[in-house]
Amino acid sequence: MAKLTKNDVLKLAKLAKLELTDEEVERLVSELGEILGYVEQLDKVDVTGLEATTQVSGLSSVTRPDEVKDYGYKPADLLKQVSAVEGNQIKVKRMLA
Amino acid sequence: MSTWAGVADIASDVQAGKASATELVKKSLTLIKEKSEFQAIIGTTEARALARASEIDSQVQSGKNPGRLAGVPFIAKDNFLTFGSETTAASNILKGFEAPYQATVIKRLEKEGAICVAKANLDAFAHGSSTENSDYFTTKNPHDKTKVPGGSSGGSAAAIALELAPFALGTDTGGSIRLPASFCGIVGYKPTYGLVSRSGIVAMASSCDAPGPLAASVSDAALVLDVIAGRDELDSTSIDRQGQYTELTGGLKGKTIGVIEMDEHISGDVRQVIDASIEKLAKAGAVVKPIKLPVNDYALATYYIIQTAEVSSNLSRYDGQRYPYSYPDAKDLDEVYKKSRSIGFGAEAKRRIILGTFVLSSGYYEAYYQKAQLVRSKIINDYEKVFNEVDFVAGPTAATTAFPIGEVQDPLQMYLTDVLTVGANLAGLPAISLPAGKNDAGLPVGLQLLAPQRKDRELLALASAAEEVLA
């Protein structure tokens, strides 16, 4: 299994849209190293013949009719929390610098 | 003499006009103010709670029945979407968020006449075992102010131990209801995965998240569960209820209880209290059998891969656009994302996002995330094998009693606090933490009981009988 470097953490931060200070990066390298060291014990577990568990509810293919229902809230209620709105839409900063 | 009668008794007094919902709400709000030094509460819903109480009182006056929980005040962990207050999940990035709709659990409780009076503190986004990761403040343990209350539902558990309200709501993703219940000496119930809807609750790790009640007694927790349980069309992972959860009959006698082996990782004072409790259960007619649960050896490692993967995905919605906090001086969209998230998230959220992003990233996905999903299957199989031999599993909820505030600084050491509770989340099992006694320093010890999936009623019946024996 892997040991994370400073560059790995910076790459992961970029993927996760986070900016980390030098101090945060240093700390994460050591903390994540310790955590990954701990989870390495899974290497020893024999999983031959097992299938991956993705959910535990025992349900499969839950569907519902594709129809509009009134749950008592309107788009305006949802948009109230948004930082910038124009008309009925979320306004964002420009995407290309 | 406790401050509050049982939940069913309070409701029947309100229904009969012998108690007023307004007085009950005022009493709870006054207690919240008086005990504010423990910092269990983030904020109250005072105006809305009083308005609802007055509505319920007039319903009673006009001869209507407001429901099975008529006028009963309760406190919700601040990751439940509620009207009448902000919903912050104790995070800076959600500060100022006013929910556009309420959680299904809250709606079901209100439909039966219960009244939410306040929102309880938690580790931000429920990431933690002590409430020290709250972006606002740390809750203090009601039994010893220098100790943590446990987490992440630490505010809810402290609120019940302080008797601020008759019951509270929490969420349990890796032990977040049971651990604080154990540290605060109250009852905490984690239902079978899917039995209680997750709709309107700030998501942590969706394949493990289970909302549930914290209360002073098993019968109170069972009544609350009975109101909130069952399929919800707004949560497609929710399941049908199985009968009445308030039927607490058939509890202890002749039931086989597998007791997990307690090794040197469990502290001596906890072992002593748990051993004595098991002896009492045996004397009362339970068939006690020592068992080995190999899953506990690797459940935590599995959990910290699956949970952080799901956390990193669930927290991606906080983009600085759709929720209140947005970095004001960004020059483009990418900077809005990066600055808002970097300023808005605390250290633990960032740690989990980075770890989750790593285990899901190309080149490591198979070795970590997929391996954890396979081991999760093994954990489920191991529990199935154990439940072929016993009806229930018992053991301590936590390896220690409440630890001092500020003592656990290392993230991995904090994660290890959940080592005895995460198995139930990975396998979707119902589990409860019951007060089992106290150590010499007067700190509570919790007894954890587990049952197979969907055996919630049987587990509550056992817990109710055990509660009587342990009292």
User: Model pTM greater than 0.95?
Assistant: yes
Give residue-wise pLDDT tens across range B192-201: 999 999 999 9
B313 given a catalytic annotation: no
B60-77 confidence digits (pLDDT tens)? 999 999 999 999 999 999
Q: Specify the pLDDT at position A62.
A: 86
- Please determine, for residue A26, whether its predicted confidence score (pLDDT) is greater than 90: yes
What's the whole-number average pLDDT of chain B? 97
Share of chain B above pLDDT 90, in %: 96
**Count of domains observed in chain A:** 1
Q: Structural domain of residue A13, as residue ranges?
A: 6-44
Residue A29 domain flag: yes
Distance from CA of A34 to the nearest CA of B (A): 7
Q: Could you tell me if residue A86 is inside a domain?
A: no
φ and ψ of B299, to 5 deg? -60, -40
Q: Do B237 and A62 touch (CB under 8 A)?
A: yes
- pLDDT reported for residue A46: 94
A-B C-beta contacts closer than 8 Å:
177
Residue A32 falls inside a structural domain:
yes
The pLDDT of residue B1: 62
Which tens digits make up the pLDDT trace of B333-364?
999 999 999 999 999 999 999 999 999 999 99
Distance spanning both ends of chain B, measured CA to CA: 14
Residue A1 in domain: no
What average pLDDT does range B16-36 have in this prediction?
98
First to last CA, chain A: 38
* Residue of B130, B134, B152, B219 marked catalytic: B152
CB contact under 8 Å between A83 and B321, yes or no, is yes
- B347 in contact with A at a CB cutoff of 8 Å? yes
ipTM of this predicted complex? 0.95
pLDDT of residue A77: 86
pLDDT at A95: 86
Average pLDDT of span B240-257: 94
* Interface check A29 vs B, CB under 8 A: no
Name the residue of chain B whose CA is nearest to A1's CA. B367
Least Cα separation, residue A1 to chain B (angstroms): 7
| A66 pLDDT more than 70 | yes
A64 — contact with chain B (CB < 8 Å)? yes
Question: Residue holding tokens 């150590």?
Answer: B439
**Is B292 known to be catalytic?**
no
Which of A36-50, A53-67, B404-418 is predicted with the least confidence, judged by mean pLDDT? A53-67
List Cβ neighbours of B197 (8 Å cut-off, separation of 6 or more): B103, B104, B105, B211, B228, B231, B232, B234, B235, B238
Q: Per the domain annotation, does A55 fall within a domain?
A: no
Q: Which domains does chain B have, with CATH numbers?
A: 1-295+393-471 (3.90.1300.10), 300-367 (no CATH)
**Is it the case that residue A69 has pLDDT exceeding 80?**
yes
Using CA atoms, how far residue B298 sits from A24, B98, B387, B395, B460, in Å, is 29, 40, 19, 17, 28
Residue B376 banded pLDDT, cuts 50, 70, 90: very high
CATH of the domain at A25: 1.10.20
Residue A35 counted as domain residue: yes
Q: What is the mean pLDDT of residues B451-464?
A: 98
The confidence score (pLDDT) of residue A2 equals: 64
Judged against a pLDDT cut of 60, whether residue B421 lies above it is answered with yes
> Is a pLDDT exceeding 90 seen at residue A44?
yes
Does A10 reside within a domain? yes
CB atoms A20 and B338 under 8 Å: no
Strand partners, B258: B289, B393
The token pair at B302 is 């599995």
**Which has more pLDDT, B453 or A63?**
B453
Summarised one tens digit per residue, pLDDT across range B275-334 is 999 999 999 999 999 998 877 779 999 999 999 999 999 999 999 998 889 999 999 999
Query: Scanning every residue of chain B, which has its alpha carbon at the shortest distance from the alpha carbon of A71?
Result: B101
> Is B95 in contact with B346 (CB distance < 8 Å)?
no
**Contact between B400 and B267 (Cβ < 8 Å):** yes
Which residues of A are less than 8 Å from B333 in CB distance? 92-95
pLDDT per position as a tens digit, B88-128: 999 999 999 999 999 999 999 999 999 999 999 999 999 99
The alpha-carbon gap from A16 to the nearest alpha carbon of chain B, in Å, equals 7
List all residues of chain A from 38 to 57 with a beta carbon under 8 Å from chain B: 38-39, 41-43, 45, 47, 50-57
The reported pLDDT for the residue numbered A84 is 86
Overall average pLDDT of the B221-237 stretch:
97
CB B304 within 8 A of CB B418: no
Residue A97 has pLDDT above 70, yes or no: no
Report if residue A68 sits inside a domain: no
pLDDT at B169: 98
A1 has a pLDDT exceeding 80:
no
